[in-house]
């Protein structure tokens, strides 16, 4: 199913001879971009939840290392969030 979404964008983006007006004017590129952003955001959210859960568990086991764990967690969350932002930028460049 994921391969279908990945391959749909280039297939529908091909240009050819102008055909008759289609029955529906669905913008397949924008629709596929929306699915791509939804998948990227969902997976980033799962990764962030898992990272925070592991960090809190580590802080509970070793309260003395709270500052180091918290700093590493915040840095990791920033990297995870950047993946979603990169996806948004790529989609914006492709659709617009």
Residue listed under structure tokens 């669905």: 26
Each of the 96 residues of the chain gets a pLDDT tens digit; together they read 555 566 666 666 666 656 665 667 778 888 899 999 999 999 999 999 999 999 999 999 999 999 999 999 999 999 999 999 999 999 888 887
Nearest to 55 by CA among 31, 72, 30: 72
| Predicted TM-score of the model (pTM) | 0.65
Nearest to 67 by CA among 80, 58, 78, 77: 58
What structural domains and CATH numbers belong to the chain? 27-95 (1.20.20.10)
């Amino acid at each position: 199913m994921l391969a279908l979404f990945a391959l749909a964008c280039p297939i529908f983006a091909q240009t050819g001879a102008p055909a008759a007006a289609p029955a529906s004017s669905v913008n397949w590129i924008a629709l596929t971009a929306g699915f791509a952003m939804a998948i990227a955001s969902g997976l980033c959210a799962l990764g962030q939840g898992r990272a925070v859960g592991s960090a809190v568990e580590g802080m509970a086991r070793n309260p003395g290392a709270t500052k180091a764990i918290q700093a590493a967690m915040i840095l990791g969350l920033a990297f995870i969030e950047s993946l979603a932002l990169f996806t948004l930028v790529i989609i914006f460049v492709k659709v617009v």
